[in-house]
Amino acid sequence: MIVNLANAHGAAIDLDYALTHFVDISLDFVKRHIESISNKKPPANFDTEYRSTSFNRFQRELKPVKGIVEVLDRLEIPFCVSSIIL
């Protein structure tokens, strides 16, 4: 998502570049970095556009990890689970 958005604003990056430079980094840092490599300031609605795009994509495409529902059903303590698969 960030690759497409960055490229739409003149950054010309690929997924490998984004994974190297943007993992565990704030969105403010990402915007400043995009500005530095594109020589263009991202628009004022960049944050909103990114969050809206991310939320919509998560709603459409995010699926539970195979077997996690059964694991959660068996837990007898409070829990929080997250994961990322690239």
CB-CB contact of 53 with 1 (8 Å): yes
State mean pLDDT over 10-27.
94
Q: What is the pLDDT of residues 36-68, one digit of tens each?
A: 999 999 999 999 999 999 999 989 998 888 898
Over 60: is that where the pLDDT of 22 sits? yes
Q: pTM for this structure?
A: 0.69
Q: What is the pLDDT of residues 64-81, one digit of tens each?
A: 888 988 988 998 888 777
Q: How far apart are CA 69 and CA 27, in angstroms?
A: 31
Q: Which residues contact 49 (CB under 8 A, 6 or more apart)?
A: 5, 43
Over 70: is that where the pLDDT of 86 sits? no
